[in-house]
Amino acid sequence: MLDSLQSLGSKALDFFQRLGRGHILLLRILAGSHTLLSRLGLVVNQIFSVGVLSLLIILVSGLFVGMVLGLQGYNTLVDFGAEESLGVVVSLSLVRELGPVVSALLFAGRAGSALTAEIGLMKATEQLSAMEMMAVDPVRRVLAPRFWAGVISMPLLAAIFSAVGVIGGYFVGVGLLGVDEGAYWSQMQAKVDLHEDIYNGVIKSIVFGVVVTWIAIFEGNDAMPTSEGVSRATTRTVVHSSLAVLGLDFILTALMFGN
């Protein structure tokens, strides 16, 4: 009885300690970010490895998600004789939900895991400690540029995902299934609102960018400095950030579109 209580207590303490370390790390990153203004090259390099290298997977999956939406939406709408609304279906579901969420999930898998593995290995091979020995703050030099690169890249990737998806839906709907081209765009423009839909989608993707990058960097920095520890941390990054994205998406959707 006491033993099980003790194990529960130690797990809870462990959880809250990790939570606290995570927040302290986030605060240290934010506090150390001002030095980045004079060294933007660091951020640019990281945007390359975090954002540019994720472009291909985002482009391809955005195109296919849009095409599938076009196909499925058409099959449902044609029963009601409302296939002209295909543009609305494709664009609203992409801009509001699928764009931010799916690209955040892909981002967690493609860029988040790479960040964790990189930082974890730096820690395991004691590069971070070596930096500290040389009086270089690893939070400012290594973690902060990666964090901001993730935060900047994520909304751009989500926007590219949504735009490519809308074009994919256009290919399938207008090109393959014969929906009227004018109706596809005009219905879309009539129903999609700049503030309500697109701004909120961008806000969502920024929040996801912060959360995914934060989790990835924290897991890397918090990993046990062994090969096993790094592999566990990488797995945890993908699992935790995917769960966080899906859970946060519900909360954000309820706040934004729930009334």
Partner 1 sequence: MTSRMTEIWVGIFVAAGMAALFMLAMKVSNLSTYNSGEGFDVIAHFEDASGLKVRSPVTMAGVRIGRVKDIQFDDQTFEAVVTMRLEKRHNTLPQDTSASIYTAGLLGEKYVGLEPGAGSDHCEELALEAELEGEEFNPADCKNDAGNKVLRDGSRIVLTQSSMVLEKLIGQFVSRFLSDSEVEDKK
Nearest distance, CB of residue 259 and partner 1, angstroms:
12
Q: 88 or 217, CB closer to partner 1?
A: 88
Check: CB of residue 98 under 8 Å from CB of residue 67: no
**Which is nearer to partner 1, 50 or 122 (by Cβ)?**
50
> Does residue 86 touch partner 1 according to CB under 8 A?
no
Residue 52 contacts partner 1 per CB under 8 A = yes
CB of 181 closer than 8 Å to CB of 174: yes
Task: List the one residue from 56, 193, 227, 228 that touches partner 1 (CB under 8 A).
Answer: 193
Helix (H, G, I), strand (E, B) or coil at 137: coil
Name the residue nearer to partner 1 (CB basis): 188 or 216: 188
CA dihedral 39, 44, 49, 54 (to 10 degrees): 150
Q: Kindly state whether residue 129 participates in binding partner 1, applying the rule CB under 8 A.
A: no
Token pair 């090109």 is found at 175
Using the contact rule CB under 8 A, the part of the chain among 13-21, 47-55, 116-124, 243-251 near partner 1 is 47-55
Identified binder of partner 1 from the candidate list 7, 17, 189, 235, rule CB under 8 A? 189
Buried b (16+ CB within 10 A) or exposed e, 49-82: bbbeebeebbeebbbebbbbbbbebbeebeeeee
Task: Identify the residue among 108, 166, 174, 252 touching partner 1 (CB under 8 A).
Answer: 166
Asked if 44 is part of the footprint of partner 1 (rule: CB under 8 A), the reply reads: yes
CA–CA gap between residue 179 and residue 162 (Å, rounded): 20
Minimum Å gap between C-beta 158 and partner 1 is 9
Asked if 90 and 183 count as a contact pair (C-beta separation under 8 A), the reply is no
Of the candidate spans 129-137, 182-190, 217-225, 242-250, the one that interacts with partner 1 by CB under 8 A turns out to be 182-190
CA 94/CA 161 separation, integer angstroms: 8
CA distance 21 to 208: 20
Stretch near partner 1 under the rule CB under 8 A, chosen from 100-108, 152-160, 209-217, 233-241: 152-160
Cα separations in angstroms, 35 against 49, 71, 145, 234, 248: 21, 49, 10, 28, 31
**Alpha helices (H) along the chain:** 2-31, 40-50, 55-77, 86-92, 99-107, 113-124, 127-133, 138, 144-170, 181-191, 200-222, 227-257
Q: Choose the stretch contacting partner 1; rule: CB under 8 A; options: 6-14, 40-48, 222-230, 243-251.
A: 40-48
Asked if 76 is part of the footprint of partner 1 (rule: CB under 8 A), the reply reads: no
* Amino acid present at 46: Q
Site string for partner 1, 210-249 (x = CB under 8 A): ----------------------------------------
Give the binding site for partner 1 (CB under 8 A).
41, 44-45, 47-48, 51-52, 55, 91, 95, 153, 155-157, 159-160, 162-164, 166, 185, 188-194, 197-198, 202
